[in-house]
């Protein structure tokens, strides 16, 4: 099941790359902004509870897809571009096995069960 989820995420990430290319968005901006969601890990400076919530807030598809949808609906290419970059980041993270975090341990994610980490 995890392999299928990771493959699915890889396809989402590749689709984002194609969409980005097809809309002629600048690749330099992609390269600069693609890792911005990982700044949410600084939430772990305030404990695992705050850290996991902060990380998960920036690593769920809900807000990135809303960003894309709003950008398309209002014909705002900047908003669309940011949403696509954000979605690509999430997708590639998940394709590498980095999932949403549980509060007990940074390495305990929805893609990695606790018994697998040992």
Domain region containing 46? 2-105
Could you read off the pLDDT tens digit of each residue along the chain, which spans 118 residues? 889 999 999 999 999 999 999 999 999 999 999 999 999 999 999 999 999 999 999 999 999 999 999 999 999 999 999 999 999 999 999 999 998 999 988 888 888 765 555 4
Does some domain include residue 62?
yes
pLDDT at 18: 99
Does some domain include residue 7?
yes
Does some domain include residue 116?
no
Does some domain include residue 118?
no
Element (DSSP H or E) covering residue 32: helix 27-33
Return d(Cα 111, Cα 99) in angstroms, integer. Answer: 5
**pTM for the whole thing?**
0.91
Does some domain include residue 114?
no
Tally of domains in the chain? 1
Does some domain include residue 20?
yes
């Amino acid at each position: 099941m995890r392999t299928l989820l990771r493959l699915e995420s890889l396809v989402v990430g590749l689709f984002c790359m194609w969409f980005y290319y097809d809309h002629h968005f600048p690749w330099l901006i992609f390269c600069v902004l693609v890792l911005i969601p990982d700044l949410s890990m600084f939430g772990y400076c305030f404990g695992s509870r705050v850290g996991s919530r902060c990380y998960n807030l920036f690593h769920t598809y809900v807000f990135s897809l809303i960003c894309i949808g709003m950008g398309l609906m209002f014909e705002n290419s900047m908003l669309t571009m940011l949403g696509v970059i954000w979605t690509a980041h999430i997708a590639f993270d998940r394709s590498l096995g980095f999932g949403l975090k549980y509060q007990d341990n940074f390495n305990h994610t929805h893609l990695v069960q606790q018994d697998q980490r040992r």
